Amino acid sequence: MSDMRQMTALGRNIEEGSFAIIDREAGGHGFDPAQWQIVRRVIHATADFEFKDLMRFHPRAVSAGIAAVRRGAPIVVDVKMISAGLNEERLKFYGCATHCFISDDDVIAAAKANNSTRAIEAMRKAGRQGLLDGAIAAIGNAPTALVETVRLIEREGLRPALVIGVPVGFVSAAESKEAALGLDVPYVVARGRKGGSAIAVAIIHALLLLAKEKEL
């Protein structure tokens, strides 16, 4: 695939025009060029410039994310909306596959039996299946999924290549992200209550594009 952006000339022009507006209106920032590509794609997905102040990157986040993409790492997501939003052709180009267990019968049963949440049990299932080690773990909806991912890393020694922690919400959303900022594995986090599946999708798409650029 020679160009992983919008595939029509009009689409590319609209996208490039949008990014030019974002660059102009955002003003100064402290992100390096690769980080800024991710942040401005998040802004592009939301039309919300506050993300310029909310996004946080582990020093190795971008390099780890690019390396994971280029080796075809699994992408473990908390909700199907992330999988649905990702460009299948871009994922196929690198051999990446998404995994979401939140609607599995055994996950639902475990959540009821343990008085937990489907999101918690889905991340536990991903861990049991060995999918989280070396994976991109992308949490865009459920704060409890991020809390559990942090626990699996800190208490059970699992080692995702990158944690994308951008769940949206009012209960535990901000707190789960603060916990993720203490991880010793690479992370991309949007602090506070704002977030969502579209943010996670934007970050992954930015990594896919950055991975392609590094090959050129």
Q: Per-residue confidence at 1, pLDDT binned at 50, 70, 90?
A: very low
pLDDT tens-digit map of 130-151 = 999 999 999 999 999 999 999 9
Annotated active-site residue 44? The verdict is yes
Write down the pTM of the prediction: 0.94
pLDDT at 4 over 70: no
Residue with tokens 């590319």: 12
Query: What is the predicted pLDDT for the residue at 98?
Result: 98
Q: What is the mean pLDDT of the chain?
A: 94
**Domain of 140, in residue numbers:** 53-215
Query: What is the predicted pLDDT for the residue at 197?
Result: 97
From residue 146, how far is each of 22, 84, 103, 159, 179 by CA, in Å?
29, 20, 17, 14, 9
Q: Which residues contact 212 (CB under 8 A, 6 or more apart)?
A: 1, 4, 93
Residue 22 lies in a domain: no
When divided into structural domains, the chain yields a total of: 1
Measured CA to CA, the distance from residue 162 to residue 164 in angstroms comes to: 6
Residue 34 lies in a domain: no
Q: Can you tell me the mean pLDDT for 7-34? A: 91
pLDDT at 125 over 80: yes
Residue 202 lies in a domain: yes
Query: What is the predicted pLDDT for the residue at 45?
Result: 96
- For position 107, which CATH number holds? 3.40.50.10230
pLDDT at 206 over 80: yes
Residue 134 lies in a domain: yes
Pairing of strands 187-190, 55-57: antiparallel
Query: What is the predicted pLDDT for the residue at 216?
Result: 43
Which of these is catalytic: 29, 44, 99, 205? 44
Q: Can you tell me the mean pLDDT for 122-131? A: 98
pLDDT tens-digit map of 99-112 = 999 999 999 999 99
Query: What is the predicted pLDDT for the residue at 214?
Result: 63
Residue 17 lies in a domain: no
Residue 36 lies in a domain: no
Query: What is the predicted pLDDT for the residue at 6?
Result: 57
Query: What is the predicted pLDDT for the residue at 7?
Result: 67
Supply the DSSP symbol for 136. Answer: E
CA 66, distance to chain mean position in Å, is: 12
Query: What is the predicted pLDDT for the residue at 2?
Result: 46
Residue 143 lies in a domain: yes
Residue 129 lies in a domain: yes
